[in-house]
Amino acid sequence: MDEAQSGSAAPDSHGHGKVALIAGVTGQDGAYLAELLLAKGYVVHGIKRRASSFNTQRIDHIYQDPHHAGVRFRLHYGDLTDSTNLLRIVQEVQPDEIYNLAAQSHVRVSFETPEYTANADALGTLRFLEAIRILGLSDKTRFYQASTSELYGATTEAPQSERTPFAPCSPYAAAKLYAYWITVNYRSAYGLHASNGILFNHESPLRGETFVTRKITRAAARLQLGLEECLYLGNLDARRDFGHAREYVAGMWAMLQRPTGGDFVLATGRATSVREFLLMAFRFAGFDLAFRGQGRDEVGLCQQTGRVLVRIDPQYFRPTEVPLLLGDATKARQELAWEPRVSLEELCREMVEADLYRAAQERRQRESGQLTAEQLIHTPGGFLSWLATQPT
Ligand code: NAP
Ligand code: GDD
């Protein structure tokens, strides 16, 4: 996908679809949600950030050439930190539903970029809500806010439900706390159909490579295929409630189909430590791990070979950690008929298999001995010197 296509919404090829606007369409959830809405007959508009190279890998398979008739998927350049840009996009698209999935979504990174995180994650949400209001779309446009179980942070209550008090303990969670409450406020103050999905961790083969589950499944595959030497992790004892992203985006959609907005927890109700996930993923990749040592000196050994495959690197510790997130999704089950069905084992296996597939492709490329274009560009003399060695 080489260029974002702006402009007014194309007519729905079926003539009866709703129009949705997804901010964060290039992310894990954005990709699954765009797929779901297209399958339901929506016209889908996505907001993507300008980047110095392509960043649409997750949605390339649903790309539609804007020159063709009846296009139902369009992209717009945009950024949550740019009010006028968001205002213009909302005005052009006139969406029935806005899904605000865009965010600086990495908790550890938010300690390093707290101001940017607040701008994008907190004020970005306000900018959308104001756009709806300023443009007189309060009766037409429904709004979904990607809220998070990180809001519960340091709570000692478990499991956590819509009634559990929030105790955010990162710049990310503090920014998302503002976004949560401003969404609630616009619902009550102006009657907007605005909802918070308080989603617990959800993963998939599309998960970003620096989140812990994907970091683990990717490393397990690459270690198995000899592409990597060792995996470095932080706190192995944090526990999270891991579900499958594909199922969670269906819950987002269900929230916007209700007669009024509301706030809903989506979770599986099962907590798993990073250590347990690590053991499971490595087993699927063909390694039996055993742990030796303690604290920063702890290592994960391959039981068959004694080789150290996992080490602790304190740079992945967080200044304040969230020890346990475990959700109670009773309200979503009762009011949205939402039920997660994919087990942790199935999720983990799917992620490992996808990463084994990717790693095998990379190994084949390496074994072929053929240099990539990027490698050739960076050889002495660059691509031209390679060209000179080729028969004319
Ligand atoms: P993700 O993969 O990191 O995707 C985030 C998306 O936001 C990407 O498309 C990213 O664009 C975009 N984005 C970041 N900053 C932006 C900005 N300033 N302006 C416009 N777009 C921006 O996250 P995800 O896992 O799909 O999560 C989706 C949302 O749910 C996020 O808001 C996250 O905080 C929240 N959430 C996630 C989970 C979870 O477990 N996955 C749980 C609860 C809540 P680029 O592709 O250009 O980076
Ligand atoms: N990322 C990462 N990298 N996390 C590690 C590592 C590591 O090397 N080692 C241990 N962890 C631990 C973290 O300290 C944390 O306790 C746990 O693994 C999960 O970390 P992440 O996968 O980064 O996810 P998260 O729980 O912090 O945040 C995700 O879930 C939230 C919902 O609860 C993100 O998707 C957020 O956007 C989302 O709101």
**Dist. CA 109 → ligand 1 center (Å):** 13
Mean pLDDT within 53-79:
94
| pLDDT at position 208 over 90 | yes
Q: Which of 1-10, 35-44, 61-70, 71-80 has the lowest mean pLDDT?
A: 1-10
Strand pairing category for 263-266 and 97-100: unpaired
Q: Give the atom of ligand 2 at the shortest distance from the alpha carbon of 210.
A: 1
| pLDDT at position 168 over 60 | yes
pLDDT higher at 257 or 390: 257
Q: So what's the pLDDT on residue 225?
A: 98
Percentage above 90 pLDDT, the chain: 89
Closest residue (by CA) to atom 41 of ligand 1? 202
Q: Angle, to 10 degrees, between the axis of helix 274-284 and the axis of helix 344-367?
A: 50
Q: So what's the pLDDT on residue 338?
A: 98
| pLDDT at position 9 over 60 | no
348-377 per-position pLDDT tens digit: 999 999 999 999 999 999 999 988 899 999
Closest residue (by CA) to atom 40 of ligand 1? 201
Q: So what's the pLDDT on residue 3?
A: 43
Q: So what's the pLDDT on residue 16?
A: 57
| pLDDT at position 11 over 50 | no
Q: Give the atom of ligand 2 at the shortest distance from the alpha carbon of 173.
A: 39
Question: Active site residue: 141, 148, 155, 164, which one?
Answer: 148
Q: Which of 28, 32, 105, 107 to mutate to test the pocket of ligand 2 (most atoms within 8 A of CB)?
A: 107
Sort 267 into a burial class: Cβ within 10 Å, 0-12 / 13-18 / 19+: buried
Q: Give the atom of ligand 1 at the shortest distance from the alpha carbon of 116.
A: 18
| pLDDT at position 4 over 60 | no
Q: Is 150 labeled as catalytic in the residue annotation?
A: yes
In this structure, which amino acid lies at residue 12?
D
Note the pTM of the prediction, 2 decimals.
0.96
- Residue 156 CB coordination number (10 Å): 8
Structure tokens at 235: 């706190």
164-198 as b/e, with b when 16 or more CB fall inside 10 Å? bebebbbbbbbbbbbbbbbbbebbeeeebbbbbbb
Ligand nearest to the CA of 235: 2
Question: Active site residue: 32, 172, 180, 186, which one?
Answer: 172
Q: Is 339 labeled as catalytic in the residue annotation?
A: no
* Average pLDDT of the chain, as a whole number: 95
Q: So what's the pLDDT on residue 317?
A: 98
User: Is the shortest distance between the CB of 248 and ligand 2 below 6 Å?
Assistant: no
Sort 378 into a burial class: Cβ within 10 Å, 0-12 / 13-18 / 19+: exposed
Q: Is 141 labeled as catalytic in the residue annotation?
A: no
Structure tokens at 340: 């997660």
221-239 as b/e, with b when 16 or more CB fall inside 10 Å? bbbbbebeeebebbbbebb
Mean pLDDT within 26-50:
98
237-285 per-position pLDDT tens digit: 999 999 999 999 999 999 999 999 999 999 999 999 999 999 999 999 9
- Residue 2 CB coordination number (10 Å): 6
Closest residue (by CA) to atom 14 of ligand 1? 103
Look-up of token digits 């698209």: 93
308-317 per-position pLDDT tens digit: 999 999 999 9
| pLDDT at position 2 over 80 | no
Q: So what's the pLDDT on residue 392?
A: 81
Residue 345 neighbours by CB under 8 Å, 6+ apart: 280
108-144 per-position pLDDT tens digit: 999 999 999 999 999 999 999 999 999 999 999 999 9
**Dist. CA 303 → ligand 1 center (Å):** 37
Question: Active site residue: 35, 150, 203, 350, which one?
Answer: 150
Q: So what's the pLDDT on residue 1?
A: 45
